[in-house]
Amino acid sequence: MNTFSNKKYLLQLTITTIFILNVSSIQAHNSFRYPLLKENTPTSWNAIVYGHGCGENTIIGSSMVFPNFSENPALTMLNTATDKFEPTEETIDLIYDSPAAPFGYTIDRSVFSGGDAKANDSGEAVGMWAGGGPGVPHSPAGAVRGFVSVRFQPGSFIAESCAGKIQFVVPMVDVCKITTIDGFKEGVVSIWIPEDAGSDYRIPGSNHTGDVVLTVDRDLKKNPLPETCEGGAKTYRVTPTSSQINRDMPVTVGGKRLWPKR
């Protein structure tokens, strides 16, 4: 092979490697199998896909908190000038009509052998947990995936609103070793909680690696924006409050708290 061919081959190899690494890093994050749905679609099965374990360790369990509307989740709106979500004085009922508890637990034993919904005093699902069984092994390049099934009921956008998208953030923790909160570190848990949520569930000194988000799109053909909407459709985000995360993230079975340890 001549010098030119060698250089061309190395360049192609470098580009390919960069591409694979970038794709792998994107796919490594936990995410919804169907992250984008349209309003008014039927009740749908969905799943949260696990991208990797905790460092070199297998995920032995998982816990998550649902943004239940009766729990008064935080509502923010995207500022297109700064590309950041900011607090808004609008209320959810003025932009989006939805069941109080749009998320629910779906029994699935393919990855974890046990699991259950977490419910509030009204019996509504405010989260879920899964654990036991083979779990999800370490897979830094995304060669192995795992998922936990969930149910989601899309709502509908209020016709008079300017809302075009609403994003549901599901805080969750992948558990690889059972410890107290003080024992959280890389290799023990992987945490998917928005930095601005302010919960107790953090790894000191670690960089946040992304949120688990499900987006509902407005059906602009059947439900067009009002002509009075200036600047086009608005994007909103619904996130459980820090108090709900702290209350509903622990896993309790039969009155006994299994994770995190006290």
pLDDT at 143 over 80: no
Q: How far apart are CA 123 and CA 103, in angstroms?
A: 13
Listed residue (261, 244, 251) closest to 198, CA to CA: 244
Q: Report the sign of the C-alpha dihedral through residues 197, 176, 137, 117, in that order.
A: negative
> Domain-by-domain residue ranges, the chain?
29-259
Q: pTM, whole model, 2 decimals? A: 0.86
Q: For residue range 166-182, what is the model confidence (pLDDT) as tens digits?
A: 999 999 999 999 999 99
Q: For residue range 69-115, what is the model confidence (pLDDT) as tens digits?
A: 999 999 999 999 999 999 999 999 999 999 999 999 999 999 999 99
Answer with the residue of higher pLDDT: 19 or 92.
92
Give the mean model confidence (pLDDT) for residues 137-148: 79
Average pLDDT, the chain: 87
Q: Does domain 29-259 have CATH number 2.60.40.2230?
A: yes
**Beta pairing class for 163-169 and 213-217:** antiparallel
Give the mean model confidence (pLDDT) for residues 51-56: 80
Q: What angle do CA 154, 69, 217 make, to 5 degrees?
A: 30
Q: For residue range 60-79, what is the model confidence (pLDDT) as tens digits?
A: 999 999 999 999 999 999 99
Strand partners, 49: 31, 147
Q: How far apart are CA 113 and CA 132, in angstroms?
A: 5
